[in-house]
Amino acid sequence: MLILRRYLESCGCEPDLVELIRLIARQMETIRKAFLENQTFERTLNPSGELQTQMDTWADEHLIKVVGNSGLVRELASEEQPDIIRFDNSRTDYCMVMDPLDGSSLISTNLAVGTIVGIYEGGGVLQPGSKLRAAFYTLFGPLTVLVVSVGKGVQSFAWDQENEHYLLLRTGISIPEGKQYGTGGLRMEWLPEHVRVIDYFDQSGFKVRYSGSFVADCHQLLTYGGIYSYPGTTKNPEGKLRLLFEAIPLGFIITQAGGRITDGKRNILEIVPEKQHQTTPLYIGSKGIIEKIEEIYSSS
Ligand code: AFP
């Protein structure tokens, strides 16, 4: 059975990149264990003004420590940190973006959450997603799953606790054209273009799937197709989801699986980020559905 390390090596990944991906992947066991004692919200707000959970700060601090000590990352941007962190001890040029725990409002409900990571080779963290060297996410469900792309398609692996490695689960993942959608934002605040998109889904027999965890909602797209969306609203025209930590890494993976990501008008992977905590309206999922959404936007 193919394990994560061998897969990455077979793709021609340089040893430092293999080591970095494996290092973070191995932290998932530690993070999973920490859930038991970190079930509630903190009193602190993250840089986007959202209430942090204990696990947000726990996973953030843990990953910053591990990555910082590794000497494998020069620059790190975390969803939970106000500023970009620079590590002078780095022997590589890797620049990393991460959402240490996405979907964290669901921790107290025991629904699926995960960690999202994007890795650039040089050039800093404020780069378009098309320049990513690798992206992966993990998902804590019945299995601890890791989904990775190093620009050669998308593969998923599952953590094998007994043998302490990640085993290949699915290879060459290709996103089907499905008929399901999820949307965030309050209906009363949706913009007219988004109302038309949702009307189209409802009239075309799509069913609704939305958990409140971006990483989990995107993960099911790899099996069932369809789309996840979080639009711009009258209150937040630039949406809620973070360009660096959520949209870009997941957009890279879904695109590698044959899907697409758009803000309604342009491919999100082409956007050059201007600031660390920038947000973007987004639609992500099956290619044909995204094309239809862009058609609706352009005719609005
Ligand atoms: P964090 O848990 O990293 O803050 O992310 C939450 C999130 O950005 C995304 O994972 C969800 O899809 C979205 O928020 C849910 O938002 P609503 O609660 O407004 O639906």
Specify whether the CB–CB gap between 16 and 92 falls below 8 A: yes
What is the reported pLDDT for 285? 98
Ligand 1 neighbourhood includes 104 CB (under 6 angstroms)? yes
Whether 182 is in the pocket of ligand 1, judged by its Cβ within 6 Å, is no
Strand order in the sheet with 134-140: 85-86, 75-78, 94-102, 113-121, 134-140, 144-149, 155-160, 165-170
Ligand 1 pocket: which of 97, 236, 241 to mutate (most atoms within 8 A of CB): 241
With tokens 């930590």, the residue in question is: 245
Residue 188, pLDDT score: 98
Answer whether 259's CB lies under 8 Å from 226's CB.
no
Residues present in the chain in total:
300
CB of 38 closer than 6 A to ligand 1? no
Residues in Cβ contact with 31 at an 8 Å cutoff, skipping those fewer than 6 apart: 55, 58, 59, 62, 101, 115, 140
* CA pair distance 48, 224, nearest whole angstrom: 31
Contact 300, 196 (CB under 8 A): yes
Position in ligand 1 atom list of the atom nearest CA 105? 2
User: Which pLDDT score is estimated for 254?
Assistant: 98
pLDDT per residue, tens digit, the chain (300 aa), is 899 999 999 999 999 999 999 999 999 999 999 999 888 878 788 898 888 889 999 999 999 999 999 999 999 999 999 999 999 999 999 999 999 999 999 999 999 999 999 999 999 999 999 999 999 999 999 999 999 999 999 999 999 999 999 999 999 999 999 999 999 999 999 999 999 999 999 999 999 999 999 999 999 999 999 999 999 999 999 999 999 999 999 999 999 999 999 999 999 999 999 999 999 999 999 999 999 999 999 997
Which element (helix H / strand E) includes 160? Answer: strand 155-160
Residue 247 dihedral angles phi and psi, to the nearest 5°: -65, -50
Which atom of ligand 1 lies nearest, measured to the CA of 185?
A: 19
Ligand 1 atom 6 nearest Cα: 103
- Domains of the chain by start residue, with CATH: 4-170 (3.30.540.10), 180-298 (3.40.190.80)
Q: Is the pTM of this model over 0.95?
A: yes
The helix (run of H) or strand (run of E) holding residue 251 is: helix 248-256
